[in-house]
């Protein structure tokens, strides 16, 4: 997810923007749908399907132009063009979703019902003046999205999760599982991932901490990023992965693929759900086991969710250092406890202490990210894993961001706090020729002098 730093807007409010480039008043919106209905009767849709996308669009545009000029000669040329564009969205595009998916500031689109459409902009959820005619209208657009992917949704398969050609994720659930209305969620991803420098500029973390984490990646430490939904876990993971040396072979394992890594020696593996007959499933655990036979220098698990946690920790402990992953958790403690439970899901009868020993020996750093009330995403804590102390995983806090309040504009304010202690990883980083970031982080601890 993107991490734009924007002035907050009221949650659930309606943004000031029109529906899109061809945004129309309600009467012309109805006119567009009426013209679309007429075109459905008159156009040879089978012929359109045999044309290239460019030819189909040109043919549909000419037919729409004739209908608009015949039905609404009272409109100005500019309004006629906007009406034609709106009709085209219905004929060859994604209907009311088209302007939202063209808007680069929109990172997520949520359709709850024909009259309830929300987007995420700048980390805030906003209701937008976009609507569908009825449930059938939603389903028509859904089928248009899914058909090129070879997927479908119906009463026999009322849920579908798929990846669009541009990398966006689409989830659809229909009645009876969602009785009120078909619901659609589309999560979009940047084609160019944020770098750590970008995240520093956006206020997601301070520069000395970013340099320290980059050095930790270069020194092949194992890092787990923890956070809630929409907190920026994948964004930070991609930014950290950008500091893996270019001559290393990297294998990513995801379900589904979300990472947009720009490097040469990269293999991306994607889990596969079972088919309609219940066969053919390939899990992240299957892919992780296979990846170990593919001579990886680094393994990145997009999000660890289940028994693959055992294999991931085992890989970290047996020579595949420098691995990165994320986990869905609201705190570092929750992340470690969830990881323990996932290892126990692997089917091995292991005592809890043995599981914790595996966690303690595999991980070096746990980074907690959070979505703030104003919509920004931020690193809020970095914990170093030290080993075992009795029956518990021992760790020390290196960094935290303390929230102090909210300024008059609604933006959350806080301060960076760095522990006045030398990280255990310092020796490892210095041995790799990366002493500078350690010194910068320690200097920051002296500057803020607020640790307690």
Q: Could you list the pLDDT tens digit for every one of the 452 residues in the chain?
A: 333 232 233 334 444 334 333 467 888 888 888 998 888 887 776 677 777 888 888 988 999 999 999 999 999 999 999 999 999 999 888 999 999 999 999 999 999 999 999 999 988 899 999 999 999 999 999 999 999 888 889 998 899 988 888 888 999 999 999 999 999 999 998 878 899 999 999 999 999 999 999 999 999 999 999 999 989 999 999 999 999 999 999 999 999 898 989 899 999 999 988 876 778 999 999 999 999 999 999 999 999 999 999 999 999 998 899 999 999 999 999 999 999 999 999 988 899 999 999 999 999 999 999 999 999 999 999 999 999 999 999 999 999 999 999 999 989 999 999 998 899 999 999 999 999 999 999 898 877 666 66
Last residue of a domain, one of 164, 189, 214: 189
Counted domains in the chain: 3
Sheet of 159-163, strands arranged across:
124-127, 116-121, 106-113, 183-187, 169-173, 159-163
Q: Are residues 226 and 288 in the same domain?
A: yes
Query: Does 9 map to a domain?
Result: no
Query: Does 141 map to a domain?
Result: yes
Residues 6 or more apart whose CB falls under 8 angstroms from that of 58 comprise: none
3-state secondary structure of 439: helix
Q: Are residues 361 and 402 in the same domain?
A: yes
Looking up tokens 């567009």 gives 32
Query: Does 19 map to a domain?
Result: no
Q: Are residues 182 and 247 in the same domain?
A: no
**CA nearest to 393, candidates 335, 350, 441:** 335
pTM for this prediction:
0.83
Q: What is the pLDDT of residues 294-318, one digit of tens each?
A: 999 999 999 999 999 999 999 999 8
User: Where does residue 414 rank: exposed (0-12), middle (13-18), buried (19+ CB within 10 A)?
Assistant: middle
Q: Are residues 147 and 217 in the same domain?
A: no
Q: What is the pLDDT of residues 338-384, one digit of tens each?
A: 999 999 999 888 999 999 999 999 999 999 999 999 999 999 999 99
Parent domain of 150: 94-189
Question: The domain spanning residue 122 has which CATH number?
Answer: 3.30.450.90
């Amino acid at each position: 997810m993107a991490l734009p730093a924007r002035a907050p807007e009221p949650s659930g409010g309606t943004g000031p923007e029109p529906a899109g480039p061809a945004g129309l008043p309600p009467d012309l919106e109805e006119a567009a749908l009426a013209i679309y209905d007429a075109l459905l009767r008159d156009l040879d849709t089978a012929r359109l399907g045999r044309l290239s996308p460019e030819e189909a669009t040109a043919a549909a545009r000419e037919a729409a132009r004739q209908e608009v000029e015949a039905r609404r000669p009272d409109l100005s040329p500019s309004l006629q063009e906007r009406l034609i564009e709106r009709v085209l969205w219905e004929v060859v595009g994604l209907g009311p979703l088209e302007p939202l998916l063209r808007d680069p500031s929109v990172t997520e689109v949520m359709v709850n019902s024909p009259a309830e459409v929300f987007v995420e902009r700048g980390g805030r959820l906003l209701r937008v003046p976009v609507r569908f005619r009825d449930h059938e209208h939603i389903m028509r657009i859904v089928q248009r999205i899914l058909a090129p992917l070879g997927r479908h949704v119906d009463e026999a398969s009322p849920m579908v999760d798929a990846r669009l050609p541009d990398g966006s994720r689409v989830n659809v659930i229909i009645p009876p599982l969602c009785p009120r209305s078909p619901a659609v969620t589309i999560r979009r991803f940047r084609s160019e991932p944020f770098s750590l420098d970008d995240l520093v500029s956006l206020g997601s973390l301070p520069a000395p901490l970013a340099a320290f984490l980059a050095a930790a990646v270069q020194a092949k430490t194992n890092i787990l990023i923890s956070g809630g939904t929409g907190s920026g876990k994948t964004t930070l993971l991609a930014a950290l992965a950008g500091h893996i040396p270019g001559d290393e072979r990297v294998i990513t394992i995801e379900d589904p693929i979300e990472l947009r890594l720009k490097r040469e020696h990269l293999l991306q593996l994607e889990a596969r759900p079972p088919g309609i007959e219940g066969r053919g499933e390939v899990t992240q655990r299957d892919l992780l086991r296979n990846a170990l036979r593919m001579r990886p220098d680094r393994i990145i698990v997009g999000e660890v969710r289940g028994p693959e946690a055992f294999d991931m920790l085992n890989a970290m402990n047996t020579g595949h250092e420098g691995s990165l992953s994320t986990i869905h958790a609201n705190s570092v403690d929750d992340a470690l406890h969830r990881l323990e439970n996932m290892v126990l899901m692997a089917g091995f009868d292991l005592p809890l202490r043995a599981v914790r020993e595996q966690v303690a020996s595999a991980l070096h750093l746990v980074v907690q990210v959070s979505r703030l009330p104003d919509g920004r995403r931020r690193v809020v804590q970095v914990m170093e894993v030290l080993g075992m102390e009795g029956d518990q995983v021992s760790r020390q806090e290196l960094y935290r961001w303390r929230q102090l309040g909210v300024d008059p504009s609604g933006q959350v304010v806080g301060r960076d706090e760095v522990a006045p202690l030398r990280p255990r990883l310092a020796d490892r980083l210095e041995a790799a020729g990366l002493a500078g970031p350690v010194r910068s982080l320690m200097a920051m601890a002296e500057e803020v002098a607020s640790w307690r």
